[in-house]
Amino acid sequence: MLVRLLYVSRALDPDSPAATDSILSVAREHNMANGITGILCYGGGIYLQAIEGGRSQVNTLYGHIVSDKRHADVELLSYEEITERRFGGWTMGQVNLSKLNTSVVLKYSELPVLNPYAVSGQVSLALLEELMATAAILGRA
C-alpha cells in the first residue's frame, strides 16, 4: 500500500546550506534503496517535505525525521493512502523556496512569505504540485 506524508519543520541553522545538502544527500541514498520518492522544499528557515512509498517504509522514515537534530518543530500536515505517486520521478527532488516568485507563494498564502504552519496540508500539497508542473524541482535522481 502506498502512502504520502507531508510535514513541515524549522531548520536549526537556517543560514547553513550544509545541513540541507546533508539531508538531501542522505535522503537520496536511503530513499532509492527503500522505494521512497518525494520532494524537499527549503528556504527562510523552513523545510516542507512530501515523501511517498510503502506505508511501513514511510512511517519508519518519518520516525527518523522527527528525531533528526538538524531541524525542530516537526509538524505532520497530511498523511494519506494514495493510488499513485505524484513525485515518483525523484528520490528526493529539491526546491529553494527563497528563489520562488512571490506571486506563486501569494497564490497559496496570505502573505508573500511561505508559512506551511499557517495553511492546510492540502494547500501545501497544491503548492508542491504547482512547483512540479512549472519545473521548479531540481535534483532528479
Q: Write the DSSP string, the chain.
A: -EEEEEEEEEESSTT-HHHHHHHHHHHHHHHHHHT-EEEEEEETTEEEEEEEEEHHHHHHHHHHHHH-TTEEEEEEEEEEEESS-SSTT-SSEEEEGGGS-HHHHHHHSSSSS--GGGS-HHHHHHHHHHHHHTT--B---
Contact 47, 41 (CB under 8 A): yes
12: nearest Cα among 54, 47, 41: 47
* pLDDT of res. 140: 45
Q: What is the pLDDT of residues 22-38, one digit of tens each?
A: 877 887 788 888 999 98
Which pLDDT score is estimated for 73?
96
| Block residue for cell numbers 522527527 | 66
Q: CA–CA distance from 133 to each of 2, 6, 136 (Å)?
A: 22, 18, 8
Mean pLDDT score across all residues of the chain = 85
pLDDT for res 56: 97
pLDDT digits (tens, 9 = 90+) for 42-87: 888 888 999 999 999 999 999 999 998 888 999 999 999 999 998 8
Worst-scoring range by mean pLDDT, 2-6, 93-97, 128-132?
93-97
